[in-house]
Amino acid sequence: MKVIAHRGYSGLYPENTMLAFKKAAEAGCDGIEMDVQLSKDGQVVIIHDETVDRVTGSSGLVRELTVHELQKLNASGKFGEQFGFNTIPTLDEYCGWVKNLGIFTNIELKCNQFFYEGLAEETITVVKKHGIEDRVLFSSFNHVSLLDCKKIAPGIPCGILVAGNGIGNAGYYAASHGLEYYHPDIETLTREAVEDCRSRGIKLNVYTVNDMEGLITLKTLGCDGIITNFPDVCKKWLDSV
């Protein structure tokens, strides 16, 4: 089972920063999950919320700030001085770093509160610029965004993110849209969904699992990946079960 670091090594370091990504790689993760949106000037930036408020302590909508304005903010601001100054990374900066490593990247397109027209195109442009198409997996709660990705870059796999009640016919849903992965949260995961996915060749990555009990559940059900805030802890647990 692959260990995927959720927002980087976000259990110990500021989420979605280069620091958290580098620490995740050092921790031996197989993949890194991150969240992307578009800045006011159309660049792909890595940040989870639609506003900068929670992580930076400043305020404003990501989509109303240019990259230059965003990068004046401290992405670890909510921790005070603890981690110094960390910028909100661009996807370009991240890809320039990760392309030299053997890990893969799960890029989650945040098109929830706002639909960012062009996010799929821009994201794929950056990924292709760095030649890492073969080590990328897209996911989104907005499944239309995944269909956009498929139109532009059919060879890059996509995962359907779900929460709440999930999707009863998850495997059929994914397969009938040409999507390769199902990404439920652990509370949403059901044996029926796993079996439906398995029978149709759909792979499963499950978020956000930070305890041994959850890990054993995923392993027992035969899931492909665990998305976790603590990649090294999960690696050790996996070696021990």
Q: Which stretch binds Mg ion (CB under 5 A): 19-27, 32-40, 164-172, 193-201?
A: 32-40
Radius of gyration of the chain (CA): 17
Contact track, ligand G3P, 16-35, x by CB under 6 A: -----------------x-x
Binding mask 116-155 for ligand G3P (x = CB under 6 A): -----------------------x----------------
Select from 9, 13, 116, 207 the one that contacts ligand G3P (CB under 6 A).
207
Q: Which does 161 bind (CB under 5 to 8 A by kind): ligand G3P, Mg ion, none?
A: ligand G3P
The active-site residue, picked from 6, 130, 143, 183, is 6
Packed helices 91-98 and 18-26: angle between N→C axes, nearest 10 degrees: 20
* Member of 55, 161, 218, 226 binding ligand G3P (CB under 6 A): 161
Binding segment for Mg ion among 75-83, 102-110, 121-129, 178-186 (CB under 5 A)? 102-110
**Which residue lies nearest ligand G3P, judged by its C-beta?**
207
Burial pattern 169-201, b for ≥16 Cβ within 10 A else e, equals ebbebbbeeebbbbbbbbebbbeebbebbeebe
Buried b (16+ CB within 10 A) or exposed e, 42-57: ebbbbbbbebbeebbe
The answer for residues whose C-beta is within 8 angstroms of residue 32's C-beta and 6 or more apart is: 4, 5, 8, 21, 24, 25, 98, 103, 104, 105, 106
**What letter represents residue 146's amino acid?**
L
- Range 222-241, binding ligand G3P (CB under 6 A): 227
Number of residues that bind ligand G3P (CB under 6 A): 10
Specify whether the CB–CB gap between 222 and 201 falls below 8 A.
no
Q: Can residue 35 be called a binding residue for Mg ion (CB under 5 A)? A: yes
Write down the residue that tokens 């706002």 correspond to. 114
Give the residues lining the site for ligand G3P (CB under 6 A): 6, 33, 35, 48, 108, 139, 161, 183, 207, 227
